A and B are shown apart, each in its own frame.
Chain A
Amino acid sequence: MTTGKEISSPALRINGLAKSFGAKKAVDGLDLLVPAGEFHALLGPNGAGKTTTLRMVAGLLRADAGSVHIYGHDAASAAPDAKKVTAFLPDDPLLYGKLTPLEYLEFVSGLWGVPADAAEKRARELLEWLELWNDRGEYTEGFSRGMRQKLALAGAMIHEPRLMILDEPLTGLDARAARSVKDMLSDYVKRGNTVLLTTHILEIAERLAERISIILGGRIVAQGTLDELRSRAGAAAGAGGGTLEDVFLQLTEPA
Chain B
Amino acid sequence: MSARPGSWPWLLRNELRLSWRGVSGGHLWFIAFFGGLLWLFMHWGAWVVLPSMLPVLLGMLKAPFFGGAVFWLFATLAVSQTTIHAVNAFIVRGDLDLLLSSPLEQRDIFLVRGLAIALSVLPLPAFLLLPLAHVGALRGFPGFLAVYPALAAAALGCAAAGILLTMTLVRLLGARRARTAGQIMAAAIGAVFFLAFQLPNMLPPERRARMFDWFKTAVTDGGPLGPASPLWWPLRALYGEPGPLLALALAGTLGFWLVVNLAYRRFVTGTQETLTGGGTAAPAGPAAFRSGLTRVLLVKEWKLILRDMQVISQALLQLLYLLPMVFAGFSRGPRNPVIVPVLVAAAAMLAGNLAWITVNAEDAPELMATAPVPLARVLWIKAAAAVLPVLAVLLPLAAWWVTRSPAKAATLLFCGAGGMLSAALVQVWNPRQGKRHDLRYRHRTGGPASFIELFSTVSWIGAAVLLDSKPVMLPAALAGVALALAVARRTGRAAREDSWGSAMKAA
Given A60-B504, A88-B366, do A116 and B288 touch, yes or no (CB 8 Å)? yes
B55 on the A face (CB < 8 A): no
Residues from chain A with Cβ under 8 Å of B297 in the complex = 107, 110-111
A102 on the B face (CB < 8 A): yes
Residues from chain B with Cβ under 8 Å of A111 in the complex = 293, 296-297, 367-368, 371-373
Minimum CB–CB distance for B285 against chain A, Å? 4
| 9 chain-A/chain-B pairs, Cβ below 8 angstroms | A58-B370, A99-B303, A108-B367, A110-B290, A111-B296, A111-B297, A138-B279, A139-B307, A142-B279
List which B350-366 residues lie within 8 A (CB) of chain A.
363-366
Interface centre among B284, B368, B369, B501, by most chain A C-beta atoms within 10 angstroms, is B369
A237 on the B face (CB < 8 A): no
The one of A58, A93, A137 in contact with B281, judged by C-beta atoms closer than 8 angstroms, is A137
Residues from chain B with Cβ under 8 Å of A143 in the complex = 279
Given A60-B504, A111-B368, A113-B372, do A99 and B304 touch, yes or no (CB 8 Å)? yes
- Complexed CA–CA distance, A80 and B377 (Å): 13
List which B271-299 residues lie within 8 A (CB) of chain A.
278-282, 284-286, 288-293, 295-297, 299
B103 on the A face (CB < 8 A): no
Check if A99 sits within 8 Å of B300, measured CB to CB: yes
Cβ contacts A107-134/B at 8 Å (1 or 0 each): 1111111011101100100000000000
The one of A62, A84, A135 in contact with B372, judged by C-beta atoms closer than 8 angstroms, is A84
Check if A80 sits within 8 Å of B291, measured CB to CB: no
The one of B307, B368, B370, B501 in contact with A86, judged by C-beta atoms closer than 8 angstroms, is B370
The one of A84, A98, A108 in contact with B303, judged by C-beta atoms closer than 8 angstroms, is A98
- Complexed CA–CA distance, A162 and B258 (Å): 65
Check if A98 sits within 8 Å of B291, measured CB to CB: no
Minimum CB–CB distance for A177 against chain B, Å? 17
Residues from chain A with Cβ under 8 Å of B285 in the complex = 100, 102-103, 136-137
A241 on the B face (CB < 8 A): no
Check if A93 sits within 8 Å of B366, measured CB to CB: yes
Residues from chain B with Cβ under 8 Å of A234 in the complex = none
B3 on the A face (CB < 8 A): no
Given A95-B363, A116-B289, A135-B279, do A110 and B295 touch, yes or no (CB 8 Å)? yes
B505 on the A face (CB < 8 A): yes
A242 on the B face (CB < 8 A): no
Residues from chain B with Cβ under 8 Å of A109 in the complex = 289, 296
Check if A116 sits within 8 Å of B366, measured CB to CB: no
B5 on the A face (CB < 8 A): no
Residues from chain B with Cβ under 8 Å of A6 in the complex = none
Q: How many A residues have CB within 8 A of the partner chain?
A: 49
- Complexed CA–CA distance, A61 and B505 (Å): 8
A255 on the B face (CB < 8 A): no
Given A88-B370, A137-B282, do A96 and B363 touch, yes or no (CB 8 Å)? yes
- Complexed CA–CA distance, A98 and B310 (Å): 12
Residues from chain A with Cβ under 8 Å of B280 in the complex = 138-139, 141-142
Q: How many B residues have CB within 8 A of the partner chain?
A: 39
List which A36-72 residues lie within 8 A (CB) of chain B.
55, 58-62
A206 on the B face (CB < 8 A): no
- Complexed CA–CA distance, A80 and B371 (Å): 8
- Complexed CA–CA distance, A90 and B280 (Å): 25
Check if A94 sits within 8 Å of B296, measured CB to CB: no
Check if B371 sits within 8 Å of A83, measured CB to CB: yes
Given A96-B300, A143-B279, do A112 and B371 touch, yes or no (CB 8 Å)? yes
Nearest residue (CB) in B for A111 is B371
Interface centre among A61, A81, A102, A107, by most chain B C-beta atoms within 10 angstroms, is A107
B48 on the A face (CB < 8 A): no
Residues from chain B with Cβ under 8 Å of A117 in the complex = 289
- Complexed CA–CA distance, A61 and B365 (Å): 12
Residues from chain A with Cβ under 8 Å of B296 in the complex = 106-107, 109-111
Minimum CB–CB distance for A196 against chain B, Å? 14
The one of B289, B366, B368, B374 in contact with A80, judged by C-beta atoms closer than 8 angstroms, is B374
Check if A98 sits within 8 Å of B279, measured CB to CB: no
B507 on the A face (CB < 8 A): yes
Check if B295 sits within 8 Å of A60, measured CB to CB: no
Residues from chain B with Cβ under 8 Å of A224 in the complex = none
Nearest residue (CB) in A for B499 is A62
A155 on the B face (CB < 8 A): yes
- Complexed CA–CA distance, A97 and B392 (Å): 27
The one of B286, B290, B366, B372 in contact with A94, judged by C-beta atoms closer than 8 angstroms, is B366
Check if B278 sits within 8 Å of A142, measured CB to CB: yes
Cβ contacts A76-93/B at 8 Å (1 or 0 each): 000111111011101001
Residues from chain A with Cβ under 8 Å of B299 in the complex = 107
Interface centre among B278, B288, B364, B365, by most chain A C-beta atoms within 10 angstroms, is B364
Check if A107 sits within 8 Å of B300, measured CB to CB: yes
Given A60-B369, A137-B282, do A113 and B308 touch, yes or no (CB 8 Å)? no
Nearest residue (CB) in B for A87 is B370
Residues from chain A with Cβ under 8 Å of B300 in the complex = 96, 99, 103, 107
Residues from chain A with Cβ under 8 Å of B295 in the complex = 110
Check if B286 sits within 8 Å of A103, measured CB to CB: yes
Minimum CB–CB distance for B261 against chain A, Å? 33
Residues from chain A with Cβ under 8 Å of B374 in the complex = 80
